[in-house]
Amino acid sequence: MKNVAVIGSGTMGNGIAHVFAQKGYKVALIDISQSALDKGVATITKNLDRMIAKEKISEADKSATLGNITTFTDMKEGVKDVQLVVEAATENVDLKLKIFRDLSEATSDDVILASNTSSISITQIAAVTNRPDKVIGMHFMNPVPVMKLVEIIRGYSTSDEVTNLIMETSKKLGKVPVEVNDYPGFVANRILMPMINEAIITLHEGVAGVEEIDTVMKLGMAHPMGPLQLADFIGLDVCLAIMNVLYEGFGNPKYAPCPLLVNMVTAGKRGVKSGEGFYSWTHGTKDLIVSDNFKK
């Protein structure tokens, strides 16, 4: 496997393109938006410069990495001659099903189709293609160049051969792959999101304030950041969408999203990306200032 296409040049897509290109794969980075592609390449360049400053790579590594990436706004053009596609487009079921239907037509039968989805069923995505045995989840973590884990999700029909190949490919990227089966939230979000939701319920019930909850989890459980701060980073809309996947997927009330989370998303308070969530981010992401709504 030498040629890879990455669909979506946002937060995750540019990171995925970066790690493949740095390991010598030829990468076609595809997005419907030219400005997203430009921003993606600018982010990769900035991250490579940071690695040079830390003396982790040389200038030559940087040019080789950037030289391995070609951008496309036309998906059919971009996926010509690739052996693997990693889809990292916006988290929306209908959009992903359309992309996989199109990929099924645009690529030959032996091309492996992977998705970086955080929560959508790989089995459902695979079912719209002509090769469900070659569809698999490759769930990278953010920021991709830094985080070691790749959660490898086997859909109902994913073959052993494809799973093994993707496990090996992830290792070649310097990552640690972990194989899991396709059930709502996989493993990462099935455990993480209910913890975040429970932190929001704890706040909603007035058990403790924002800083107190985050401090308990940081200093008591050695988490690098508290669950409410993490929710702001992930995006409260994303947290809500994943809780709904768990709630609907298992039909179990223990996964019901906290009404406070629902209210905040409805009010447009989505965390860092909207400037406010549990904390106020209008001053940047360095200092933690509790949002006025949660000040005592």
Ligand X SMILES: NC(=O)c1ccc[n+]([C@@H]2O[C@H](COP(=O)([O-])OP(=O)(O)OC[C@H]3O[C@@H](n4cnc5c(N)ncnc54)[C@H](O)[C@@H]3O)[C@@H](O)[C@H]2O)c1
Q: Which residues are catalytic?
A: 118, 139, 151, 189
- Of 87 and 211, the one with the shorter C-beta distance to ligand X is 87
- In 3D space, the residue among 273, 189, 192 whose CA is nearest the CA of residue 226 turns out to be 192
228-267 positions binding ligand X, by CB under 6 A: 234
Q: Residues 184-223: x/- map of binding to ligand X (CB under 6 A)?
A: ----------------------------------------
List 71, 107, 117, 123, residue binding ligand X (CB under 6 A): 117
By the rule CB under 6 A, 79 interacts with ligand X:
no
Q: How far apart are CA 241 and CA 249, in angstroms?
A: 12
Total site size for ligand X, rule CB under 6 A: 24
CB of 211 to ligand X, least distance (A): 24
13-72 positions binding ligand X, by CB under 6 A: 13, 30-33, 36
- Of 79 and 200, the one with the shorter C-beta distance to ligand X is 79
Stretch that binds ligand X, among 87-95, 127-135, 177-185, 244-252 (CB under 6 A): 87-95
CB of 78 to ligand X, least distance (A): 9
Structure tokens at 157: 């029909």
- Of 211 and 237, the one with the shorter C-beta distance to ligand X is 237
By the rule CB under 6 A, 95 interacts with ligand X:
yes
CB of 15 to ligand X, least distance (A): 8
- Of 202 and 246, the one with the shorter C-beta distance to ligand X is 246
Classify residue 2 by burial, with Cβ atoms within 10 Å: 0-12, 13-18, 19+.
exposed
- Of 144 and 211, the one with the shorter C-beta distance to ligand X is 144
By the rule CB under 6 A, 12 interacts with ligand X:
yes
For the range 285-288, what are the long-range contacts, defined as Cβ-Cβ under 8 Å and sequence gap of 24 or more? 288/211, 288/229
130-189 positions binding ligand X, by CB under 6 A: 139, 142
Q: How far apart are CA 212 and CA 91, in angstroms?
A: 32
- Of 199 and 202, the one with the shorter C-beta distance to ligand X is 199
List 47, 65, 104, 118, residue binding ligand X (CB under 6 A): 118
CB of 235 to ligand X, least distance (A): 7
By the rule CB under 6 A, 285 interacts with ligand X:
no
Relative to beta strand 279-280, strand 289-290 is antiparallel
Q: Residues 96-115: x/- map of binding to ligand X (CB under 6 A)?
A: ---x----------------
CB of 192 to ligand X, least distance (A): 11
Binding site for ligand X (CB under 6 A): 7-13, 30-33, 36, 88-91, 95, 99, 116-118, 139, 142, 234
